[in-house]
Amino acid sequence: MIRPHLARRLSALQRLRLRLQGVVDADVLVARGLQLGHDVYIGPRAIIDPWHCWLITIGDEATLAPGVHLLAHDASTKRHLGWTRIGRIVIGRRAFIGAGSIVLPNTTVGDDAIVGAGSIVRHDVPPGCVAAGNPARAIGRTEDFIARHREALQRRPRFPWRGWTMTGGISEAHRQRMRDALIDGEGYVE
């Protein structure tokens, strides 16, 4: 649910977070009508259609990973018909759009859905669904995906945020320890 006051104005903290993530024109997009929920993460190099941003809604706690494109218009028809196709994009609460994915006009990614990296979303992704590919297709349920990782979290290496990430001040010694710990598979960082 988009809170009306957040759809019109970003908080100072949200503006700072978005600027640090490389989204310097978020205020402009919101002023033009982008409906942006609270605690949304927009990764570096993400593009939110600046020409039709009022057709885009991003729900609370959603994540757009680096390089995601949300395109509410498709100009492939312009030269032939003289008209550009447009459509709404709705990204649900706690939805995750993986790095490099493209979400096309007239699509909804439901609450708690996960879209795999590099996917092309041409059709709706149901709530609680994991989808991937070109075009993105359902490959599982979010709750099953999370359950697998919750189990793996108990046996795989884990690293706290502070001291083990770029923003947490990771040292060269910790970088090497992380590389060594992940030689046989994946791990998790807070």
Using CA atoms, how far apart are residues 97 and 43, in angstroms rounded to an integer?
Answer: 10
pTM: 0.82
Using CA atoms, how far apart are residues 43 and 47, in angstroms rounded to an integer?
Answer: 9
CA dihedral 160, 164, 165, 168 (to 10 degrees): 80
Q: Where are the domains of the chain?
A: 4-140, 156-190
**Among the ranges given (10-14, 54-58, 94-98, 126-130), the one the predictor scored with the smallest mean pLDDT:** 10-14
Strand, helix or coil at 58?
strand
The CATH homologous superfamily of the domain defined by 4-140: Hexapeptide repeat proteins (2.160.10.10)
pLDDT in tens, 110-153: 999 999 999 999 999 999 999 999 999 999 999 999 999 999 99
